[in-house]
Amino acid sequence: MNQLSDYHRERVQAVLAASPLVPVIAIKDPDDAIPLCRALVDGGIRVLEITLRTEHGVRAIEKVRKAIPEAWVGAGTVTSIAQYRQVESAGAQFVITPGVTEAILEFGVTSEAPLLPGVSTVSELMMGYALGYREFKFFPAEVAGGIPALKAFSGPFPDVVFCPTGGISRQTARDYLALPNVRAVGGSWLTPAEAIAGKDWPAVSDIARGSLGDL
């Protein structure tokens, strides 16, 4: 059984260290990809998780990677190895999944783009742990137990850290980040639908800047 390399872990650690807040980005209009991501970066966000929740995700990753080279640009909501390969080809610098399968975990061990696997239970965490993973996405965070669950995980797994996502708000982000085993949090409040629909990019920058200032 292959084990996760130091290279992969260092890359994931670098992503989590680059920004305490990770926006969950779903591109509905392909023309929005670059200005939206630029607005987030202008607001101080350095990690961009562009999800595959819409048909424009892969292309958006490719465009944003070229347009905003100073940011970490990765793929979220990756649910199959076929999608993993697609986003790697598009230039994704990291991959985030909502959950795990043995196949995806094993593929991530040797992939070019390092994997932050999504877990919601101790059993899923143990699957990844056996392969050398020590950094995980905790999803859906609020539904799966929130802060009390993360505190409980720290007992048997003191060397594991998380990026919780799902149901976290600007108001609760700070509480999650106060936990010793949380390195970053993900959220969709950083990409409000109303501002995007109105192409109000300064508002997106203001929300990002204000959210970072709250921490």
Q: Just list the catalytic residues.
A: 49, 137
Burial category of 198 from C-beta neighbours within 10 Å (exposed 0-12, middle 13-18, buried 19 and up): exposed
Cα-Cα end-to-end distance for the chain: 40
DSSP letters spanning 117-133: -EESSHHHHHHHHHTT-
Containing H/E element for 206? helix 201-214
Q: How far apart are CA 13 and CA 202, in angstroms?
A: 30
CA 9 → CA 4, 62, 90, distances in Å?
Answer: 7, 23, 21
Q: How far apart are CA 164 and CA 172, in angstroms?
A: 11
> Residue 156's CB: how many other CB atoms inside 10 A?
11
